[in-house]
Amino acid sequence: MTQPTTFPLEVIDLKKNYGSFEAVRGLSFEVRAGEVFGLLGPNGAGKTTTISIVTTLEQATSGQVRVFGIDVAKNPLLVKRQFGVVHQEIINSGFFTVEELLQFQSGYHGLRRNGERIRYLLNKLGLYEHRDKRVKQLSGGMKRRLMIAKALVHSPRLLLLDEPTAGVDITLRENLWDFVRDLKREGIAVLLTTHYLEEAELLCDRVGIVNRGRLEAIGETSRIVHQFARKKVILDTRSSGRKEIFAPIEKPLGDILRDAGVDPMDLRDIQVEQGRLEDAFRRLLTGDKAAPAEGAKA
Amino acid sequence: MMVAFLTLLERECRRFMKVIVQTVVTPFVSSFLYLLVFGVSLGAAVELKNGVPYLSFLVPGLMMMALINNSFQNSSSSIVSSKFSGDIEDLAVVPLTDNQIIWALGLGALLRGVLVALVTLAVGEVFHDQQLGVWLPVAHPLYLLYFTLVGGLLFAFLGISVAFWSKGFEHLSAFSSFVLLPLTYLGGVFISVESLSPFWQQVSRLNPLLYLINGFRYGMLGVSDVEITQSLLVSFLGLLVFYVMARISLSRGSFQRW
């Protein structure tokens, strides 16, 4: 008999109400070992609320959250040992140095001598030479990296990243992407929320798109793009000038031209922009996912 | 589990040691001024009913005031500054129980309170020796220890409760100015309640600080305005009440940053 799979994170029919306002409305998804799962949605979609429930900062109204099979509501203390979290807001604690903060964080997880791991993370995240600085002396990007180091100091197998690259410059963002890829290679499961859809497309094996607390779509990133995004074909014809056509990604170019009534001999130029996650996201949120993914405008 | 608790306690101690001027130098200056103005200058004209020199009466009162103020300030400012900087959320997502958080913050605050009380005692001993030619005695060391521990922890727990319920710095400041300060000054730090009119004596007996301050004074001097058993009971009950309040504030209060 096969054992049921234990996922690093399992969210089952999660609901969270604030008075009469439904912040999360029956969310269900799982994050698998060694994958980066992106939870995407506009502001107020319920992403941070969901992370807050996973991290025990908030209590669910109903539903269940399990971390490595452990119920968050029933055994919060045990669950807290299993994950690391990088909150959305930057922390500015002014009293302690970078190294002291990492030592304290290790201690909270029961690790008295954790120097090797701390040095590894300081080096990996480019903070080693800043280890004696107080947090308020660090730049925004360094603070963000420190938060990631804190989240990883106890070597968790599940990492929750709540908009980790918000307000971070492109170089640092790319460094962080590389770091997340390394974590993935180490088999760590990552739940990522981000407003940068390019980032989600690059990093996430699977994504869930949330809107007003409800899951609109979930699946492999490439499948979501394929299913909901359209490619844009920009035609420049001798007879009628410039024309943009939106079509399903899998539709062959010949069929698009034929359906648009364009004679290939009439073409001066043609450009094809492949469908992106951003397009899928926009279409899902504006609610025209059911409409035929085709159309033309001059 | 113990490592997590000890780490938080260590953090609390290192936090107040980072502001050593605030922890040691400021109370040194303020106790020096209190003792000079009240203990030596004005104190010469004060005659207490129980025959104790006013300077001897004042030193334990100032020590207790230093203990409770610093215990309250340490635990409350630790939480409030964490709420301001945002690392309060860290405390909520690491594997520490509410009980561990309360005791680590409480003991850290108590240690700061004791440190400041010892600074006050050191200054007081110098004045006492100069003015009266003898060191200040310790009449009942066990009572002194009891009221030190209970007084420090009680106000540390109160600081935790107030800080968790606070929605901004002004809430904490309002509590200190409008509740803590009047209770401290009317609790018998500077005056013996026996010198008050019967009506105000009855009013003063509603002030829980009266029992702590007098219990502490009994530990040092062997004299008190209230029955020592009453002081023991009231302060212990106060400790229990404020511990429960701290537990409730942690489970229902806000871990959200400001």
Is 90 exceeded by the pLDDT of residue B110?
yes
Total number of domains constituting chain B: 1
Contacts A89 to B, Cβ<8 Å: 86, 257
The reply to whether ipTM tops 0.95 is: no
CB contact under 8 A, A80 and B90: no
What is the reported pLDDT for A262? 84
Is 60 exceeded by the pLDDT of residue B66?
yes
For the stretch B205-217, pLDDT in tens is 899 899 999 999 9
* Average pLDDT over chain A, rounded to an integer: 88
Query: Do A59 and A73 touch, CB atoms closer than 8 A?
Result: yes
CB contact under 8 A, A56 and B92: yes
CB contact under 8 A, A108 and B81: no
Is 80 exceeded by the pLDDT of residue B26?
yes
Q: Which two tokens stand for residue A115?
A: 């120097």
Q: Which two tokens stand for residue B236?
A: 């212990």
Nearest CA in chain A to B6: A107
Cα torsion A81, A86, A89, A95: sign: positive
Q: Which helix (H) or strand (E) holds A171?
A: helix A170-185
- C-alpha to C-alpha distance for A249 and A266, rounded to whole angstroms: 24
- C-alpha to C-alpha distance for A120 and A128, rounded to whole angstroms: 9
Nearest CA in chain B to A100: B11
Q: Chain A: give the shortest CA distance to residue B21, in Å.
A: 14
Contacts B82 to A, Cβ<8 Å: 93
Domain assignment present for B121: yes
Domain assignment present for B258: no
The domain of B29 spans 2-252
Mean pLDDT of B215-226: 93
CB contact under 8 A, B93 and A56: yes
Contacts A151 to B, Cβ<8 Å: none
Is 70 exceeded by the pLDDT of residue A3?
no
Q: Chain B: give the shortest CA distance to residue A262, in Å.
A: 59
What's the pLDDT band for B257 if we cut at 50, 70, 90?
Answer: low
Q: Which helix (H) or strand (E) holds A241?
A: strand A241-248
At a CB cut-off of 8 Å and minimum separation 6, what does A120 contact? Answer: none
A228, B38, B126 from B35: Cα distances, Å: 78, 5, 10
CB contact under 8 A, B95 and A92: no
Query: What is the pairing mode between strands A214-220 and A295-297?
Result: unpaired
Domain assignment present for B69: yes
Contacts A56 to B, Cβ<8 Å: 92-93
Is 60 exceeded by the pLDDT of residue B120?
yes
Considering chain A, tell me which residue range(s) the CATH 3.40.50.300 domain(s) occupy. Answer: 9-224
Sheet holding A62-67, edge to edge: A21-31, A9-18, A62-67, A70-71
For the stretch A20-47, pLDDT in tens is 999 999 999 999 999 999 999 998 899 9
At a CB cut-off of 8 Å and minimum separation 6, what does B122 contact? Answer: none
Q: Chain A: give the shortest CA distance to residue B89, in Å.
A: 8
Q: What is the DSSP letter of A97?
A: B
What is the reported pLDDT for A298? 47
Query: Do A220 and A205 touch, CB atoms closer than 8 A?
Result: yes
Cα torsion A163, A166, A170, A176: sign: negative
Beta-sheet strands, E only, within chain B:
none
Q: What is the 3-state secondary structure (H, E, C) of A57-96?
A: CCCCCEEEEEECCEECCCCHHHHHCCEEEECCCCCCCCCC
Is 80 exceeded by the pLDDT of residue A76?
yes
What is the reported pLDDT for A1? 54
Chain B contact for A271 (CB, 8 A cutoff): no
Chain B contact for A134 (CB, 8 A cutoff): no
Of the candidates B55, B23, B61, B24, the one whose C-alpha atom is nearest the C-alpha of residue B40 is: B55
Of the candidates B188, B180, B139, the one whose C-alpha atom is nearest the C-alpha of residue B159 is: B180
DSSP string, A177-209: HHHHHHHHHTT-EEEEE-S-HHHHHHH-SEEEE
Is 90 exceeded by the pLDDT of residue B11?
yes
What is the reported pLDDT for B172? 87
What's the pLDDT band for B51 if we cut at 50, 70, 90?
Answer: confident
Contacts B11 to A, Cβ<8 Å: 96, 104
Q: Which two tokens stand for residue A275?
A: 């469908």
B159 or A244, which is more confident: B159
- C-alpha to C-alpha distance for A72 and A82, rounded to whole angstroms: 11
Between B98-132 and B26-34, two packed helices, what is the crossing angle to 10 degrees?
40
**Please, what is the end-to-end C-alpha distance for chain B in angstroms?**
29
Nearest CB among A90, A106, A112 relative to B86 is that of: A90
**Please, what is the end-to-end C-alpha distance for chain A in angstroms?**
61
Provide the β-strand partners of residue A162: A193
Angle at B169 between CA A87 and CA B81, to 5 degrees: 45
What's the pLDDT band for B166 if we cut at 50, 70, 90?
Answer: confident
What does chain B come to in residues?
258
Q: Chain B: give the shortest CA distance to residue A77, in Å.
A: 5
Judged on CB neighbours under 10 Å (0-12, 13-18, 19+), B116 is buried
What is the reported pLDDT for A289? 54
CB contact under 8 A, B94 and A87: no
Domain assignment present for B257: no
Which of the four CATH numbers 3.40.50.300, 3.40.50.720, 3.40.640.10, 3.40.1280.10 does domain A9-224 have? Answer: 3.40.50.300
